[in-house]
Structure 1
Amino acid sequence: HPGNYMDDREAGLLRNAAAYTRCLRAVPGSPVVLLETTAGCGTALGSTFEELAVLRSSIADDVRSRIAFCADTCHLYSAGYDLVGDYEGVWRAWDETLGLDQLRCLHLNDSKTKFASRRDRHELIGEGSLGPQPFRRIMTDPRLEHVIKILETPKGDDGVTADRKMLRRLRRYARGAEVPR
């Protein structure tokens, strides 16, 4: 996550950009840091595409190319990006503000909370307030086929079994098949 602010959001963005600059300059080579979208809880930065763009553009030119983004589906939805009712609009806004070429990773998870709740509560894919449709679209969207996808769902008592269930579900979505809960 891109960090938090103390008193002033704008100052927090600049302070965190300076910290990222220092860290990237201290690490030789070309590893890329992915800034993840946040749900907008409290003083968390990065819940809007515009904030992420300001943060990236405030990082020094010599290391800025080592910053890209990770979008978390629960965080997007909780922050007010309607993947259910305006899927195309969300990705259009992302592309216009951050660039789809800068989206390197997707954390896939449903949400236990309602739209725009600003709460980060992950749910099993297709079983929360997002439901199955956005995940069907993500898994068949050619614009996102290059993007790494990582499960970030509740694990319960047996994480391996839970992850296998979610992977089977996502594979069925990718094939266009209906998925029993």
Structure 2
Amino acid sequence: MLTIGTHMSIAKGIAKTAKNVVWMEANTMQIFSRNPRGSNYKVYTEKEEARFQQIRREHGFGALLAHAPYTMNLASAEDRVYEFARTVIREDVARMDALGIEYLVFHPGSHTGIGIEQGISNIIRGLDQAITGDEEITVLLETMSGKGTEIGARFEHLRSIRDGAAHPERIGICLDTCHVFAAGYDIVNDLDGVLEEFDRVLGLSLLKAVHLNDSMMPFGSHKDRHAAVGEGQIGMEALLGVMRHPVLRDLPFYLETPLDDQGHKEEIRMLRERLSCS
């Protein structure tokens, strides 16, 4: 069964957000673990948590994904920035695990001049103080576009992070179609080759989720600008090819496209129709 959803705002509460997922005719969702550009987070009442769990259970939601805030930079050499990131990842692993969220994804971070090797070392230290190994949740490293000093544009970066972590069994990968395309992985003309490289470097068993986004920017641009499915440089047929691929089709897909709720509902309906006709 196709598992597809979109990124949802939880400003009105997690139970109401889950109800909105049902209205969209989606069967999963991605939420921010806290304010995406700040530090605050909501504390849910027992009643709201219970209602949320009831909705996801009754409607057969697939694996849910929480996204750490963009303000978190575990690769930073600046003490204040790094300590904030360490606190966020530690708290959010515990909070999302307690909610029964299956995955927590984060952008590995930007080394801002100290170099990829030192940035990766910082990320590993940050993960090691956050992941105990006793959690049910899996922390996902996101593939990135490689803008500026961003870490994660090469599969090898993600392998180095996971290989160095104390609990690699609790770490997986989220593939973002816009990001890998912008990073120079040709998912339009050579998806099989990209997946073979992913398997060689990381292992396909580590791939747990897909951010399904088109790209406003051209191949290899190293610029992260999402477009609605079929309205960018990747194109509809290539993205449908991602969803149909036997290696990927059973993974959960999360849309991060620049649309409102109604637009996302229509986008999900269109993708289901296109896939059912193939």
Structure-1-length-normalised TM-score:
0.89
- After TM superposition, the structure 1 = structure 2 runs for residues 1-181 of structure 1, keeping only pairs within 5 Å, are 1-6=107-112, 7-25=114-132, 28-60=134-166, 63-155=167-259, 159-176=260-277
For 2:160, the aligned partner's letter is: V
For 1:38, the aligned partner's letter is: M
Does the 8 Å contact 1:70/1:107 carry over to 2? yes
Paired with 1:72 and 1:124, the residues of 2 have a C-alpha distance of 13
Question: Alignment length, in residue pairs?
Answer: 171
Does the 8 Å contact 1:73/1:106 carry over to 2? yes
Paired with 1:169 and 1:36, the residues of 2 have a C-alpha distance of 26
**Structure 1 portions without partners, runs of 5+:** none
For 1:22, the aligned partner's letter is: Q
Q: Which has the larger radius of gyration?
A: 2
Paired with 1:173 and 1:52, the residues of 2 have a C-alpha distance of 33
Paired with 1:176 and 1:21, the residues of 2 have a C-alpha distance of 46
**1:143 shift after superposition:** 1.2
**1:3 shift after superposition:** 1.6
Paired with 2:243 and 2:275, the residues of 1 have a C-alpha distance of 5
Task: Find the residue that maps to 2:175 and give its secondary structure.
Answer: strand
Paired with 1:29 and 1:86, the residues of 2 have a C-alpha distance of 37
Paired with 1:57 and 1:129, the residues of 2 have a C-alpha distance of 33
**1:126 shift after superposition:** 0.9
TM-superposition CA deviations, 1:79-106 (whole Å, max 9, x none): 0011111111111111111111111110
For 1:41, the aligned partner's letter is: K
For 1:14, the aligned partner's letter is: S
RMSD of aligned Cα (Å)? 1.4
Does the 8 Å contact 1:5/1:45 carry over to 2? yes
